[in-house]
Structure 1
Amino acid sequence: MTIRSRTSKQSATALLMAIPALAGLLLFILLPFAAALALAFTDLRLGSPLPVKFVGFGQFVQLFNDPDFMRALLNNLLFAAVVVPLQTVLALALALLLNQGLPGTVAFRTLFFMPVVFPMSLVSVIWSLIYAPGPDGMMNAFLEWASFGLWEARDFLRDPLLALPGIMLLSIWQGVEFQMVILLAGLQAIPQSLYEAAALDGAGRWQQLLHITLPQLRNPLIFVMLITTILAFRLFDQVQIMTRGGPDNATTTVIYEMVQSAFARQQVALASAMTVVFFLLVLAVTWLQRRYTHHEREMT
């Protein structure tokens, strides 16, 4: 068998094995986006007896003049800007702690990973009870104890200043363990010989972290940040269960506005325009992240 025929056979095998993934990408990503893009240029409404008309960019103009959508977009950006770095740093700290080989590490790994197993609906209900108003609420009681009685009981989920930070805290608590496991696997793949050589050269723990651990964890960190960013923009379950976008749109998100437009107000075309804008926004953010990290990799 010649090299060319062997290469062709390997290419055909690889293509055959990639068909299920490509089919899933086509059926569940590309075709729905194409349908949403087509509907976004119409005035389709569920239950309307009027014929569907082509309106061009009318839905997009209406969208960017809608204060509710702009507030939802701002909330999504703020949520991602806070949750992604904090969750990544906390996950890295936990991974470093569990990588020390301390007694009971296996038990702590299991305990830390448990929140990921629970569905977000259940977690949201439990945290709604934690945020219960009044001095009997667990969070209020804890803050009153931690502040030596200076904290005044607040209704977290009905306070415009505390509702979104409360959801951020829940999301970090529920998602940090997934990142921790990925980073822990990356830490365990780093050769110990690098640390031994650095120690012989007189490098301390902090220098080893900066010059060995973080460069070796570059790819896991990039992966973790990309996934966390996408999940942050997909924020919906917590909002739907805990606040329903309130108070005063303090926790509304783009996906929540999509659902409300499509199913509550039956504005399918407007919801499709939101979908297109949301898809392009997430695509742009992830592209910028990859481009920035790739540029840093070339610089180093």
Structure 2
Amino acid sequence: MAAPAVLLLVLFVGVPFASAIGFSLYNVRLGDPRPPSFMGLTQYARILTDPDVSRQFLSALLHNLIFAAVVVPVQTALALALALLVKKSIPGIGVFRSLYFLPVVFPIALVAIIWRLILARGDQGLLNSALAFFSGGTFGAQDWLGSEMTALASVMVLSIWQGCGFQMVILLAALQQVPAELYEAAELDRAGPWQRFIHVTVPGIQTTLVFVALYTMILSLRVFDQIYVLAKSGGGLNEGATRTVMYEAVTAAFDENNIGRASAISVVFFVIVVVLSLVQRRATRDKES
């Protein structure tokens, strides 16, 4: 019964990952008529010891960690708040659920265009125009995507806006499974709204919360699409302040024509993500028990 799923997993995950390990051991160039030359662990050594390569890799990894450290708790908390809000049985609540989920189905190219218009520099940006209007012209000249201080934060806001609806749907399904008798018992014990939330709601959806946080962390660590689209579509994004590990791997493969280095970066990053996921899972498992 599990054979079709296992076969697809091997074909689309196992084989590509094994190929990446193989490519990382060779000097592979796209379109090069010469056969790939064996390099062993040289690509990995360059990532960890070469000053230029390791500096770029560590800087990209730092951006990934900062991105995940902010997006995971903020997006999870916002998704839980929206799930609690749309859980109420009132007329027209389905419309709000659809609106909150709508950004999830938008293609990343459309999302990038929308936020490029919002965050454009000067009076061309919708956000700057709004700030200038409400502040009487005091604010409104900020280059949100081009500034080193705000470029990564702008990408964080974009990502939270697009992905929050998906986590909201998962948490909403979990909230609807919490027995109503538990809330009735808490009310009989004179528990207030906050006490019911802490002692009934959170324990009732704790497993789902752990899954959502873990899933969001993995997505945050492999963030790439929105940064690449903003950088390559003339959005004025500060690439130096927003480069991530996946961005480094893709640019190494297709801009620098170095498949071996890109594969080595992907393998190293895969190991880092697995380790962080296991650490987070162990910490949350201890809390659950």
- Smaller-chain TM-score range? over 0.9
Q: Are the equivalent residues in 1 in contact too, given 2:183–2:200 (CA < 8 A)?
A: yes
2:39 paired residue number? 55
Whole-Å separation in 2 of the counterparts to 1:143 and 1:280:
43
Q: CA deviation at 1:193?
A: 0.4
Matched residue of 2:38: which SS? Answer: coil
Whole-Å separation in 1 of the counterparts to 2:122 and 2:274:
42
- Output the amino acid matched with 2:24: A
- Output the amino acid matched with 1:55: M
* TM-score, reference length from structure 2: 0.92
2:259 counterpart of 1:268: yes
Q: Aligned runs of 1:110-121 on 2, under 5 Å?
A: 110-121=98-109
Matched residue of 1:281: which SS? Answer: helix
Of 199, 203, 227, 1:215 maps to: 203
Of 72, 78, 81, 2:69 maps to: 81
2:33 counterpart of 1:46: no
Q: Are the equivalent residues in 2 in contact too, given 1:83–1:168 (CA < 8 A)?
A: yes
Whole-Å separation in 1 of the counterparts to 2:135 and 2:281:
42
Whole-Å separation in 2 of the counterparts to 1:61 and 1:129:
42
Whole-Å separation in 1 of the counterparts to 2:94 and 2:135:
34
In our comparison, the structure showing a higher alpha carbon Rg is 1
Q: Are the equivalent residues in 2 in contact too, given 1:246–1:252 (CA < 8 A)?
A: no
Q: CA deviation at 1:152?
A: 3.8
Q: CA deviation at 1:270?
A: 0.4
Stretches of structure 1 lacking an aligned partner (at least 5 in a row): 1-16
- Output the amino acid matched with 1:277: V
Q: CA deviation at 1:106?
A: 1.2
2:176 counterpart of 1:185: no
Q: Aligned runs of 1:168-179 on 2, under 5 Å?
A: 168-179=156-167
2:244 paired residue number? 253
Whole-Å separation in 1 of the counterparts to 2:270 and 2:29:
21
Matched residue of 2:95: which SS? Answer: helix
- Output the amino acid matched with 1:59: Q
In the superposition, relative to structure 1, how do residues 246 and 136 fare at CA in structure 2: closer, same or farther (>3 Å)?
closer
2:212 paired residue number? 224
Q: CA deviation at 1:278?
A: 1.4
Give % identity: 48
- Output the amino acid matched with 2:22: A
| Cα displacement string for residues 89-108 of structure 1 (whole angstroms, at most 9, x for unaligned residues) | 00001111112324421111
Whole-Å separation in 2 of the counterparts to 1:208 and 1:214:
9
Q: Are the equivalent residues in 2 in contact too, given 1:236–1:255 (CA < 8 A)?
A: yes
Q: Aligned runs of 1:25-36 on 2, under 5 Å?
A: 25-36=9-20
Of 104, 126, 129, 1:138 maps to: 126
- Output the amino acid matched with 1:205: P
Q: CA deviation at 1:246?
A: 5.1
| Cα displacement string for residues 235-288 of structure 1 (whole angstroms, at most 9, x for unaligned residues) | 111111112595251111111111111111111110110110111111112111
Stretches of structure 2 lacking an aligned partner (at least 5 in a row): none
1:294 paired residue number? 285
- Output the amino acid matched with 2:252: S
| Cα displacement string for residues 95-128 of structure 1 (whole angstroms, at most 9, x for unaligned residues) | 1111232442111111111111111111111111
Whole-Å separation in 1 of the counterparts to 2:32 and 2:106:
40
Q: Are the equivalent residues in 2 in contact too, given 1:261–1:267 (CA < 8 A)?
A: yes
- Output the amino acid matched with 2:25: F
1:151 paired residue number? 139
1:98 paired residue number? 86
1:194 paired residue number? 182
Q: Are the equivalent residues in 2 in contact too, given 1:41–1:59 (CA < 8 A)?
A: yes
